[in-house]
Chains A and B, each alone.
Chain A
């Protein structure tokens, strides 16, 4: 009996049904919301029990399969190391986000609360289904349920026009991705003869089929994961959803795309080298461009959204290294690349939700997400600021927090290729290391800007002046996430078992050997250094703060100017101007600048914005051009049902004629 799988199914059922009680109760009653939260927590507990059973079992993988009434496929769900690893963030963020939602999206204030609860349950249940599914049809059903639930969550505030726009862009993008996945699964069926997931295509395959499945899989899953240039839906959706939903989208939903790519890469026992090279290049591109766009944004949540693209890029970069190692039979690259990538998946599922929840608290307190209207929150929201700082240090990959450990593992893998690699392959990996370094430096710029402009300095608007920390049910989940960032940073060994099981599930050739992760990556040394750094800097910092508590206070020394005003502070746009100018070639900032003529020019205004290059200058113009070009095809769409019935008949006859 696959007890672990069954408890995950119980968890999915419990979480999936969590929004139902709210539908039966009076609209706006808090009882429904509490019941939903309780059910989600119960489900997460069941899921955690399932994970515990899975971890303690001797069998590395389990399967639960039954025939079902659908015409093709069967109901097959299973667990292995990879599934277990991806279940961790799903279960965790479902529970914490649900608690946060009690304070953030109160049923009494938001008429859409019941819908948000329902979809929150559905999307989490669907994501559990996605990682459990061992049958292509079941996978697609779960995938589609997840996509639709996400659409309704993004559109929670549908009365705002940018929310609706973000929702539609997301819906189109996700279906384009699903289309690619259908193609990918069809090719797999052609190659393996069944809809079973995830097949290992050991027998000799025509290279075309494997390549086709890989490309379609990467495009389809990459659309969800937000790899540049497939990220078009991501910034708008993440910025416009309610903050706990943004946390879920960014921390967990993107990871289902990563999960798919990880699985696709394991299809062939010895994938061609270009698979790894492609992923390495895509990852590097996503990381640098994602964070460059993040630097240039002027909205709190848009910065965070673009930084998700960067983090997914880092994950894909690590995966590319692992894939290359698999092609060349280098197990150390596989272990370091994949373990680094998967650890980064876990880490990003901790600090990004933390940052989105902190942003949500800011939004809750000030009702604005414009950085140019914030400022000075460090003193009015000290707890939120402290938690935000933890998240910012972690996401920049700085020691002593968890972000450093995963980037360290990936660096180590890249450097090992540089030290020991032969042929031309090592140069690719060697060039990825400076790209990762640049990404880190840019991330630091983006998050110093975010923290510095939103929290430091003095308030730029009355809304920011009256801000206050949120209540315990919003601070609590953030505190837990921050604590997890700290623990994983100082004790990365805790994740080692999970990572190793996932690595073995991905590359069965490594099974039998004991965990080689600690042997390849000096986790113990990292842990010592991090602990030393943490203790010394916290103690030193606390001493410095205490010592200066009674220091005299004066206005900021502005080179002699005696009455600085909040408007004179450096803004988000001015902070990022120089940094973004390094990436002018990709960002194409749109400036509306005055032309000053004459000695006494009239009053004028200057404006600069950074639209998404791919979406606003590529995809949307292309689609509207297509729309114009295809307008004649609208003649087919006349309205009468009879005509459509005729089309159906024609299509049927055509299909029969072709299929004969």
Chain B
């Protein structure tokens, strides 16, 4: 009996993970359109875009090797596996074991390895630039993420994402660790913006090579390959969003439907927040991005100090 429940919940988890992420992109676009006083594209536009890209023909550069073609798929596979480690709200993740958060972070690194290698594979200096920036900013985003993990591990006493995010203490926003939790949440939001190449770290709407990180890195991908890249980016946004929502939004009503509703509302709120950040501020100058990320690290360090007290 429990086995079938388990299978059902795993199925639901993967349906959500694989089906809903493009919607977040739609919500962000819609938010930005509203803030700009426009009607904007329909919420489902990212799905249409993906479908169209999947049907398009692909053009390859003559300089590329197998890495270029394998990278988008390997990226989606590893990000999806990271999604299998992430709990969505009050539901458990299908894959969980002590220390799965290390695998979580390193799966994103694997996707980054292949995407940046593919960028260099084209021999274009624009894409090289994007790849260099991607790996550089990751060097500061990763320590911020791990510091946040250390604080959460200390608070929850657990080394696995599911029990860690669902531990009572982590949702205890009135107790002693409140301040550190908020600091960690803000730090994680900055990491989310950086890892997903959103404003103020990167601008997903332009292809100007001097300002770009992620978009310029995938300039040469076309057709289905580009669809995989875009889809992978959406998955990543969904997973980081789920991490943040799991941390900030308490889901302890006991009713699975109510919990699910709260989770979806939280995800919606995260994407609206990303949209608002994107509408209300400009992209930072490239030399300032490390300062933002060091700021996220400092927040996590302060959170750690508060836990000590």
Using a CB–CB cutoff of 8 Å, the interface residues on chain A facing chain B are 375-376, 378-379, 382, 385, 389, 392-393, 396-399, 404, 407-408, 411-412, 415-416, 418-420, 426-427, 430, 433-438, 440-442, 444-445, 447-449, 451-453, 455-458, 521-522, 525-526, 529, 532-533, 536-537, 540-545, 547-548, 551-559, 564, 566, 568-570, 574-579, 582
Contact = CB atoms under 8 A, between A and B. Distances in A.
A525 B297 CA distance: 30
A579 B81 contact: no
B280 interface: no
A157 B15 CA distance: 61
Interface in B91-110: 95, 97-100, 102-103, 105-107, 109-110
A194 B223 CA distance: 74
Given A416-B159, A430-B150, A533-B78, A545 B136 contact: no
Given A415-B153, A521-B99, A570-B129, A533 B61 contact: no
B281 to A, nearest CB: 22
Contact of B120 (A385, A407, A448, A555): A448
A456 B77 contact: no
Interface string B179-214: 000000000000000000000000000010100000
Contact of B113 (A382, A393, A551): A393
B65 interface: yes
Which are the 4 A-B pairs with shortest beta-carbon distances? A570-B128, A452-B120, A541-B70, A457-B123
B262 to A, nearest CB: 27
Contacts of A426: 154
A418 B150 contact: yes
Contacts of B61: 553-557
Size class of B's contact patch? Answer: 35 or more
Contacts of A397: 106
B63 A376 contact: yes
12 contacts: A376-B123, A434-B147, A437-B142, A437-B146, A444-B135, A456-B67, A457-B121, A525-B100, A537-B77, A559-B219, A570-B131, A578-B136
A415 B132 contact: no
A434 B135 contact: no
Contacts of B308: 427
Nearest to B95: A529
Q: Which of B78, B105, B109 has the most CB of A within 10 A?
A: B109
Interface of B: 57-67, 69-70, 72-74, 76-78, 81, 95, 97-100, 102-103, 105-107, 109-110, 112-113, 116-117, 119-129, 131-133, 135-136, 138-147, 149-150, 153-154, 157-159, 207, 209, 219-220, 223-225, 228, 290, 297, 304, 308
A544 B106 contact: no
A442 B139 contact: yes
B138 A444 contact: yes
A555 B122 CA distance: 9
Contact of A385 (B65, B81, B138): B65
Contact of B132 (A418, A436, A438, A577): A577
Contacts of A412: 98-99, 102, 159
B143 to A, nearest CB: 4
Nearest to B107: A399
Contacts of A407: 102
Contacts of B297: 434
Main secondary structure of the interface of B (DSSP, over half): helix
B131 A543 contact: no
B123 A566 contact: yes
A70 B230 CA distance: 72
B110 A398 contact: yes
B120 A579 contact: no
Contacts of B140: 438, 582
Contacts of B209: 559
A440 B106 contact: yes
Nearest to A378: B65
A626 B126 CA distance: 49
A41 to B, nearest CB: 34
A606 B118 CA distance: 29
B237 to A, nearest CB: 20
A438 B143 contact: yes
B63 A556 contact: yes
Given A411-B102, A420-B157, A554-B62, A396 B150 contact: no
B114 to A, nearest CB: 9
A351 B144 CA distance: 28
Contacts of B116: 444, 448, 452
A91 to B, nearest CB: 31
Contacts of B144: 434
A524 to B, nearest CB: 8
A14 B188 CA distance: 58
A399 B103 contact: yes
B62 A558 contact: no
Contacts of A555: 61-62
Nearest to A430: B150
A557 B127 CA distance: 10
B135 A398 contact: no
Contacts of A392: 113
Given A412-B159, A418-B154, A556 B122 contact: yes
A430 B305 CA distance: 11
Contacts of A447: 113
A385 B304 CA distance: 43
A445 B77 contact: no
A544 B221 CA distance: 13
Contacts of B207: 559
Contact of A398 (B64, B109, B149): B109
A284 to B, nearest CB: 12
A458 B123 contact: yes
Given A389-B67, A570-B128, A551 B290 contact: no
A379 B65 CA distance: 7
A418 B97 CA distance: 17
A574 B132 contact: yes
Contacts of A545: 66, 69-70
A433 B154 contact: no
Contacts of B158: 419
